[in-house]
């Protein structure tokens, strides 16, 4: 067998079977043949700088992909120190940096910029390269995945039928020895596989790679039997495995549709029903008799006599004696402890988190580390464990030991139960300490059960989509955070409030036991009638011990829009939706302050943004008119799913209180339809603007609140927590990192019960002086009194602004305690709070910063921003030492100067101090000129550290920079080792998130051409010069939505003239 001629080179880079392998160069060609070899145009794109159309032939695309593979597969970026620092821990490398530090930039420049590499790799379908979802980063495919892809390609229909050598290697039973594959195909697998020592190690790597394959079957080696071999699964095996997966006990019990089918057929499921599923349609034709015959061969299935029904084979029931036997108890206790210590339960169990923090080594408490453990004494406190074991000795005898569970095992000393999987990341409030909040609001899109279809969520396990599983996680998360007010969207309900489909009834009962009252509103049609069947709606819940109910109002948005339209075409256009807004008036019991809560869910028709603008205008204007009934200073807080990204027309209308009629989202692409409420006006105007709680505290809205999988693959921010100028956001709940969300590819997952992430913020009522500002029409809302994002106020800010010192009302977590990401933010004691004089503050030393222990706030956010720029977030313990040393002297000088100025100002104003009006906001403050509450002994790092190759998106919010009266904002220092063409423009107090911009008159260096600026994305403004900005305004991008609308309108006008 080994004397056969060597096969053709294995296609390494192409998933479609075309050769791009490393073979010998072809013979020289003539000019005509070389021109013909270039092939037809396979890729057309718009040049990112010249805005002209660029065509790429197959040879151009192959040359780009081949050079990228050479750079990444050869670990070129690790030989360049500046480029190696750009790579993340999981191998992602920014394409912009790769173009800048290699000769790839010269090859790509003539076709565009960063997007050329992503387009070429996606066009070819490389099996060795992986592009990020936003197209800004690239990495090598992990070795195991690359090896599995190549093996599946060898046995695919496109290659197997033509590969004579592979068919000669097959044995009689269809298996191909793995050793023969490795020896025959010298280019099989990535470099890590080929460099493995010994054939035994390579066979072991192949076996690991094929564990997750759905196309190949591995025959493991046996000591006295045949060697390890692999073969392609037959169609019969694929059909049987798919139906067994549908009807297994864990899936069958949670699939409502299959459960109803089985109930209607006395426990059987029709084979025709299974064949109608999308996965089955891809496998075979709907041949009921033939498929039933195939299923009858399975030892796990039972087929009816008429070959039309199938059901899982029922085993005999377990006997009572087995239930109490050691084997039965071990099986039960394994299920109990795995449920207690899995990620979904652990992140919402405060008692278990505290026990883990006290018993685990500090290094194990960081996210992604191993070694977390819980003492057996803590397990004995749980009722479900006490039902199986009465003493620790009995529990120790039945707990899983080595290799009996993939999640937990009993420690060697028998005192602890250890987790075998990485420590999960837990969302925490930021900043860790803030002024005493008056109330908290949580907004959550629950993902209604009626919307969880296989067509919408094909990549999600059915057990995860099951409502019985997801509602338990939702209830745990709400109970864990215990917010004062809840705004729930996509809350499913029925007309009479009865039946299992009414999820509002479930939460009304469950949350009622926790002390919540509620109001609910389902969707309403244009004519004001409700839907007869199950429909989604919005719900507002509030804690009865904090707020008392005043009144509420349900806003039928479609009906209000129809009433505002003047003609029937406009009424028909804007009345198609059935969105509803729920407005609830509450009164704070302790402070006797009224509060208006708005909960709404806008249309998801992204192709008609003008309809979303009209819906948002009706909802917010109605809420502000409702608030006037309780006084001009009545605050309004909104928790909503706006289905609009930051910078869109809806977002601009709410955050600025106005939207120009010339805005791109106001251009209606429909015949004889006019925007309601406009009627010839130049802009839509709201009585007041709203402010995002997350943007106020963190400096910008989250990078994503929705992380969908196929078919949409959308990742972005759609959910918001907003308030008007009468409220002050103090803390927000940080969102999980992209790495955490991608552990199960997308949302929902076993840990996150919805495709949206919940948002939570702590709010405080403003004082009487600031809250007395009336809500006059078109009045610009005052900027919130916030300080530097992500840190405590500096001594100078305490003396020159109205920022309150931190008043700690409950035990915080500090830097000088051994706490973890799995520990709650209220574990430490109040002894960590110390009061020091401002004039005695000194900057931290480098040693103290580097030696500080990890805490709850060391979270990692997504690695890329909306513009595709890599964001490397460094924890406080990993701060660059020279940066700390460089800033230490400056901070010390600023603190001393501010203290001296404050001391002089206090003397000059001491005579009039007695006439100063005390604060009326309910906060107890020490004299700001004398004391500051400094919590702990170590510095607090902001959750967003500066990236290596670009500025942070926002260092400080505009109002925080403007609070320094005599200190203008200082631009950030430009990063080293990068040419000026890659550096972003310096930030200003009023600037928006910047894009890469290249000066028009700068001559690029000949060796490495500069990268062109990205096209302006929807919803963002770019920091460009006046000429470029005017060009963006006057000449729309050829591929933009505005250009398409302009073209459509011009076409209609030409047809009308004809």
Q: Cα separation of 680 and 492, whole Å?
A: 39
862 CB contacts (<8 Å, ≥6 apart)? 703, 704, 737, 738, 871
Q: Is the Cβ–Cβ distance between 861 and 826 less than 8 Å? A: no
Give burial (CB, 10 Å; 0-12/13-18/19+) of 120.
buried
Closest to 341 in 3D by CA, of 359, 363, 320, 326 = 359
Q: Is the Cβ–Cβ distance between 439 and 484 less than 8 Å? A: yes
pLDDT at 1019: 39
Q: Cα separation of 90 and 686, whole Å?
A: 46
State pTM to two decimals. 0.52
Measured at the alpha carbon of residue 959, what is the angle toward residues 956 and 964, in degrees to the nearest 5? 85
Long-range own/partner contacts, residues 334-341 (CB < 8 A, 24 or more apart): 334/400, 334/404, 334/405, 336/382, 336/384, 336/385, 336/388, 337/379, 337/385, 337/399, 337/400, 337/408, 337/417, 338/405, 338/407, 338/408, 340/379, 340/382, 340/384, 341/374, 341/407, 341/408, 341/417, 341/419
Measured at the alpha carbon of residue 230, what is the angle toward residues 226 and 231, in degrees to the nearest 5? 120
pLDDT at 85: 79
Q: Is the Cβ–Cβ distance between 858 and 755 less than 8 Å? A: no
φ, ψ of residue 232 to 5 degrees: the values are -85, 140
SS3 643: coil
Q: Is the Cβ–Cβ distance between 685 and 658 less than 8 Å? A: yes
Q: What is the DSSP letter of 303?
A: E
Q: Cα separation of 896 and 907, whole Å?
A: 17
Q: What is the DSSP letter of 405?
A: -
Give burial (CB, 10 Å; 0-12/13-18/19+) of 63.
middle
φ, ψ of residue 538 to 5 degrees: the values are -120, 145
pLDDT at 1: 38
pLDDT at 559: 93
φ, ψ of residue 219 to 5 degrees: the values are -100, 105
pLDDT mean for each 10 residues of the chain (1058 residues) = 43 41 35 41 68 79 85 74 78 84 81 83 79 82 81 86 88 85 79 72 84 82 80 88 85 80 88 91 88 89 90 71 81 92 92 92 89 93 91 93 92 93 92 83 96 84 88 95 97 85 93 96 90 92 97 95 92 92 97 96 93 96 96 95 95 96 92 89 94 95 93 93 96 94 92 96 78 40 35 32 32 33 32 32 37 36 40 35 48 63 50 37 33 32 37 36 37 39 36 36 42 41 41 44 64 62
- How far, in Å, are 236, 265, 294, 300 from residue 290 at the CA level? 10, 21, 6, 18
- How far, in Å, are 249, 252, 260, 470 from residue 268 at the CA level? 14, 12, 10, 27
Burial 738-763 (b: 16+ CB within 10 A, else e): bbbbeebebbbbbbbbbbbbbbbbbb
Q: Is the dihedral of CA 603, 608, 614, 620 positive or negative?
A: positive
pLDDT at 407: 93
Give burial (CB, 10 Å; 0-12/13-18/19+) of 765.
buried
pLDDT at 102: 82
């Amino acid at each position: 067998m080994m004397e056969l001629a060597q096969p053709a080179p294995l296609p390494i880079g192409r998933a479609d079977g075309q050769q791009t392998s490393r073979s010998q160069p072809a013979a020289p060609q003539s000019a005509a043949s070389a021109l013909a070899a270039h092939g037809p145009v396979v890729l057309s794109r718009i040049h990112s700088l010249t805005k002209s159309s660029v065509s790429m032939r197959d040879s151009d695309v192959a040359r780009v992909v081949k050079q990228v593979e050479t750079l990444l597969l050869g670990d070129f970026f690790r030989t360049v120190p500046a480029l190696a620092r750009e790579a993340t821990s999981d191998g992602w490398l920014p394409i912009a940096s790769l173009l800048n530090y290699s000769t790839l930039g010269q090859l790509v420049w003539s076709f565009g910029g960063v997007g050329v590499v992503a387009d070429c790799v996606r066009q070819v379908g490389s099996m060795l390269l992986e592009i990020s979802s936003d197209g800004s980063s690239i990495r090598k495919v992990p070795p195991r995945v690359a090896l599995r892809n190549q093996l599946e390609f060898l046995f695919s229909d496109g290659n197997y039928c033509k590969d004579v050598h592979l068919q000669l290697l097959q044995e009689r039973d269809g298996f191909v020895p793995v050793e023969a594959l490795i020896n025959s195909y010298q280019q099989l697998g990535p470099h890590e596989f080929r460099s493995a020592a010994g054939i035994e190690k390579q066979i072991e790597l192949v076996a690991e790679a094929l564990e997750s394959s759905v196309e190949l079957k591995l025959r493991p080696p046996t000591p006295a039997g045949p060697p390890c071999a692999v073969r392609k699964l037959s169609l019969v095996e694929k059909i049987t495995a798919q139906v067994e997966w549908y009807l297994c006990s864990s899936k069958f019990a949670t699939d409502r549709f299959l459960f109803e089918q089985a109930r209607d057929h006395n426990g059987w499921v029709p084979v025709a029903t299974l064949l109608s599923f999308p996965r089955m349609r891809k496998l075979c034709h709907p041949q009921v008799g033939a498929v039933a015959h195939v299923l009858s061969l399975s030892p796990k299935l039972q087929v009816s006599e008429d070959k039309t029904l199938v059901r899982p084979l029922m085993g005999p029931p377990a006997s009572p004696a087995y239930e109490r036997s050691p084997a039965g108890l071990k099986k039960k206790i394994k299920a109990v402890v795995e449920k207690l210590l899995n990620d979904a339960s652990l992140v919402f169990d405060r008692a278990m988190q505290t026990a883990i923090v006290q018993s685990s080594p500090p290094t194990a408490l960081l996210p992604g580390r191993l070694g977390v453990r819980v003492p057996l004494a803590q397990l004995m406190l749980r009722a479900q464990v006490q039902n199986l074991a009465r003493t620790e000795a009995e529990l120790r005898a039945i707990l899983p030991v080595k290799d009996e569970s993939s999640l937990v095992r009993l420690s060697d000393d028998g005192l602890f139960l250890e987790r075998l999987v990485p420590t999960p990341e837990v969302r925490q409030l930021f900043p860790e300490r803030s002024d005493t909040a008056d109330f908290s609001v949580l907004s959550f899109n629950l993902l209604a059960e009626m919307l969880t279809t296989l067509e919408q969520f094909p990549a999600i396990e059915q057990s995860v989509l099951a409502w019985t599983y997801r509602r338990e996680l939702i209830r745990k998360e709400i109970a864990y955070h215990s917010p004062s007010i809840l705004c729930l969207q996509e809350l499913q309900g029925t007309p009479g409030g009865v039946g299992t489909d009414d999820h509002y009834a479930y939460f009304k009962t469950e949350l009622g036991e926790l002390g919540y009252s509620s109001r609910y509103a389902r969707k309403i049609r244009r004519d004001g009638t409700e839907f007869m069947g199950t429909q989604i709606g919005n719900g507002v819940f509030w804690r009865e011990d904090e707020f008392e109910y005043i009144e509420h109002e349900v806003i039928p948005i479609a009906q209000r829009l129809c009433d505002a339209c003047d003609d029937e075409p406009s009424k028909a256009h804007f009345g198609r939706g059935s969105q509803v807004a729920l407005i609830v008036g509450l009164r704070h019991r302790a402070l006797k302050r009224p509060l208006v809560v708005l909960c709404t869910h806008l249309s998801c028709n992204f192709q008609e943004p003008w309809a979303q603008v009209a819906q948002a205008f009706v909802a917010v204007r109605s809420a502000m008119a409702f608030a006037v009934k309780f006084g001009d200073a009545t605050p309004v807080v909104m928790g909503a799913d706006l289905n609009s990204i930051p910078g869109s027309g809806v977002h601009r209308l709410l955050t600025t209180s106005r939207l120009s009629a010339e805005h791109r989202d106001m251009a209606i692409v429909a015949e004889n339809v006019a925007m309601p409420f406009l009627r010839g006006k130049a802009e839509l105007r709201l009585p007041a603007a709203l402010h995002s709680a997350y943007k106020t505290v963190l400096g910008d809205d989250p990078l994503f609140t929705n992380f969908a999988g196929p078919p949409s693959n959308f990742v972005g921010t759609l959910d918001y927590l907003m308030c008007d100028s009468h409220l002050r956001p103090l803390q927000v709940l940080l969102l999980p990192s992209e790495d955490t969300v991608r552990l199960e590819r997308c949302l929902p997952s076993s840990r996150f019960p919805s495709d949206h992430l919940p948002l939570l913020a702590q709010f405080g009522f403003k004082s009487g002086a600031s809250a007395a500002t009336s809500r006059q029409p078109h009045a610009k809302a005052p900027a919130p009194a916030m300080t530097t994002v992500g840190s405590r106020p500096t001594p100078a800010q305490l003396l020159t602004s109205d920022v309150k010192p931190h008043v700690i009302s409950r035990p915080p977590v500090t830097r000088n305690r051994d706490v973890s990401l799995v520990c709650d933010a209220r574990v430490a004691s109040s002894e960590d709070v110390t009061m020091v004089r401002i004039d005695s503050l000194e900057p931290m030393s480098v040693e103290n910063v580097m030696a500080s222990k990890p805490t709850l706030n060391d979270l990692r956010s997504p690695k890329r921003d909306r513009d595709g720029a890599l964001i490397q977030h460094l924890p406080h313990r990993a701060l660059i030492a020279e940066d700390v040393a460089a800033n230490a002297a400056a901070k010390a000088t600023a603190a001393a100067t501010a203290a001296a100025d404050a001391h002089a100002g206090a003397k000059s104003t001491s005579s009039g101090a007695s006439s100063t009006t005390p604060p009326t906001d309910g906060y107890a403050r020490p004299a700001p000129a004398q004391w500051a509450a400094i919590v702990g002994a170590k510095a607090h790092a902001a959750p967003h550290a500066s990236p290596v190759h670009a500025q942070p998106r926002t260092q400080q919010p505009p109002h925080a920079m403007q609070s320094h009266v005599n200190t203008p904002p200082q631009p950030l220092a430009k990063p080293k080792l990068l040419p000026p063409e890659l550096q972003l423009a310096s930030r200003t107090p009023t600037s928006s998130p910047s894009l890469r911009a290249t000066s028009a008159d700068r001559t690029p260096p000949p060796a490495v051409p500069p990268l062109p600026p990205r096209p302006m994305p929807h919803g963002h403004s770019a920091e460009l010069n006046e000429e470029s900005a005017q060009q963006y305004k006057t000449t729309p991008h050829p591929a933009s939505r505005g250009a398409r609308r302009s073209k459509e309108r011009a076409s209609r006008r030409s047809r009308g003239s004809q």
